[in-house]
């Protein structure tokens, strides 16, 4: 199918700048194609910015980047009205948020106030500045990166705001082979000099959305999804189970994943493929469980049988 070919092409294209991370790239694409915002969490220098920039390029979307610092103010993102002496009126200078893909770099280094301004825009798809509501471009994706929260000088995002991100990805260190290839590559670290090929057109993007909702989901699969969700709500390892929004996100992403795989129906493996990225940041271990969210996802996947009622 044409669209699947385009997606495979996009994954391959991103793979030329971010080596050996095909799975994460697919997940990131899946997130964006599901119309969700993406949170990439990892140590500095792992390729977070590279990934987000490459994604914007292959999707052919306008792209802006804001480096979040502790003194960044909401107006710095949203824009300001400035008095124009010639026109004798205020004119609005839009901020960097008026773009299709916004890379919010190191979002947890800025204050909760600025974080909130961004997260509100993510949820609403519009911003309200000085009493005037302005729509954001369509589509609008936020790719936020954050350092692991135990680093100094960070304001961790609260759970309620983490929930606004459809997926959270962790890139991890590249495997030695890929790293070696990166060393040899003359392009390493210099993506800006060679722009990536645009693989997906805006038309294809909207076609894609229409096709994804056609992906078939059977009762058997929904049973599995509900067992997964019920497990997070009932087991004592979980302080907080998956919300209905979380469950819906899981299903959405599984549909996209199935479609990206060229299928018209969802299989349990689709759910499992997106489970860690979608559920990992939404699950909170209870006090007597030693593991983190990722360990919880593993536990969840191991504990709930695919077959059953």
Q: For residues 266 and 257, give the distance between their C-alpha atoms in angstroms, rounded to a whole number.
A: 8
Among 196, 253, 272, 281, binds another protein (CB under 8 A): 272
Among 187, 197, 216, 245, binds another protein (CB under 8 A): 216
Q: Is residue 94 classed exposed, middle or buried when 0-12, 13-18 and 19+ CB atoms within 10 A define those classes?
A: middle
- Centre a 10 Å sphere on the Cβ of residue 271 and count the other Cβ atoms it contains: 24
Q: Does 256 bind another protein (CB under 8 A)?
A: no
Q: Does 301 bind another protein (CB under 8 A)?
A: yes
Q: Does 226 bind another protein (CB under 8 A)?
A: no
- Cα pseudo-dihedral 265, 266, 267, 268, rounded to 10: -170
Q: For residues 235 and 216, give the distance between their C-alpha atoms in angstroms, rounded to a whole number.
A: 30
3-state secondary structure of 146: strand
- Centre a 10 Å sphere on the Cβ of residue 31 and count the other Cβ atoms it contains: 29
Among 268, 274, 276, 280, binds another protein (CB under 8 A): 268
> Taking the complex as a whole, how short is the minimal distance between the CB of residue 218 and another protein, in angstroms?
4
What are φ and ψ of residue 302, in 5° steps? -75, -30
Q: For residues 217 and 118, give the distance between their C-alpha atoms in angstroms, rounded to a whole number.
A: 34
Among 33, 267, 283, 296, binds another protein (CB under 8 A): 267
Q: Does 218 bind another protein (CB under 8 A)?
A: yes
> Taking the complex as a whole, how short is the minimal distance between the CB of residue 262 and another protein, in angstroms?
13
Mask 167-206, x = binds another protein (CB under 8 A)? Answer: ----------------------------------------
> Taking the complex as a whole, how short is the minimal distance between the CB of residue 226 and another protein, in angstroms?
12
> Taking the complex as a whole, how short is the minimal distance between the CB of residue 204 and another protein, in angstroms?
25
Among 45, 131, 176, 308, binds another protein (CB under 8 A): 308
Q: Does 280 bind another protein (CB under 8 A)?
A: no
Q: Does 306 bind another protein (CB under 8 A)?
A: yes
* Strand intervals (E) in the chain: 37-41, 63-67, 79-84, 89-94, 101-105, 126-129, 132-135, 141-146, 165-169, 238-240, 284-285
Cα dihedral sign for 244, 42, 174, 21?
positive
Segment near another protein (CB under 8 A); pick from 6-14, 111-119, 190-198, 295-303:
295-303
Q: Residues near 94 by Cβ (< 8 Å), separated by ≥ 6?
A: 79, 134
Q: Residues near 190 by Cβ (< 8 Å), separated by ≥ 6?
A: none
Among 199, 254, 266, 296, binds another protein (CB under 8 A): 266
Is 1 or 307 the residue whose CB approaches another protein more closely?
307
> Taking the complex as a whole, how short is the minimal distance between the CB of residue 3 and another protein, in angstroms?
20
Alpha-carbon distances of 289 from 148, 227, 305, rounded to whole Å = 20, 21, 21
Token pair recorded at residue 241: 């189970």
> Taking the complex as a whole, how short is the minimal distance between the CB of residue 305 and another protein, in angstroms?
5
Is 267 or 296 the residue whose CB approaches another protein more closely?
267
Q: Does 12 bind another protein (CB under 8 A)?
A: no
Sites of contact with another protein (CB under 8 A): 216-218, 220-221, 264-269, 272, 300-309
């Amino acid at each position: 199918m044409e669209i699947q070919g385009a997606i495979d092409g996009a994954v391959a294209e991103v793979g030329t700048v971010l080596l050996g991370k095909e799975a994460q790239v697919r997940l990131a694409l899946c997130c964006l194609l599901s119309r969700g915002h993406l949170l990439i969490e990892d140590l500095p220098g792992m390729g977070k910015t590279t990934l987000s920039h490459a994604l914007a390029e292959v999707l052919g979307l306008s792209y802006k980047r804001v480096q979040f610092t502790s003194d960044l103010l909401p107006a710095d993102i949203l824009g300001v009205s400035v008095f124009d002496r010639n026109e004798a009126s205020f004119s609005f200078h839009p901020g960097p948020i008026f773009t299709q893909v916004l890379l919010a770099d190191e979002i947890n280094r800025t204050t909760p106030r600025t974080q909130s301004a961004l997260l509100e825009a993510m949820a609403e798809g519009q911003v309200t500045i000085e009493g005037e509501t302005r729509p954001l471009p369509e589509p609008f994706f936020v790719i936020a990166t954050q350092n692991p929260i135990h680093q100094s000088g960070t304001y961790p995002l609260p759970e309620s705001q983490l929930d606004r991100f459809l997926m959270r990805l962790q890139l991890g260190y590249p495997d030695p082979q890929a790293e070696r290839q990166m060393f040899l590559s003359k392009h390493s670290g210099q993506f800006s000099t060679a722009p990536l090929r645009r693989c997906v057109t805006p038309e294809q993007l909207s076609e894609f959305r229409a096709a994804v909702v056609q992906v078939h989901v059977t009762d058997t699969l929904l049973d599995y999804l509900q067992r997964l969700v019920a497990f997070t709500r009932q087991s004592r390892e979980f302080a907080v189970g998956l919300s209905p929004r979380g469950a819906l996100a899981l299903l959405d992403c599984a549909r996209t994943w199935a479609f990206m795989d060229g299928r018209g129906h969802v299989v349990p493996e689709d759910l499992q493929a997106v489970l860690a990225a979608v559920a990992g940041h939404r699950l909170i271990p209870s006090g007597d469980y030693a593991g983190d969210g990722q360990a919880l996802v593993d536990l969840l996947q191991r504990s709930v049988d695919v077959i059953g009622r």
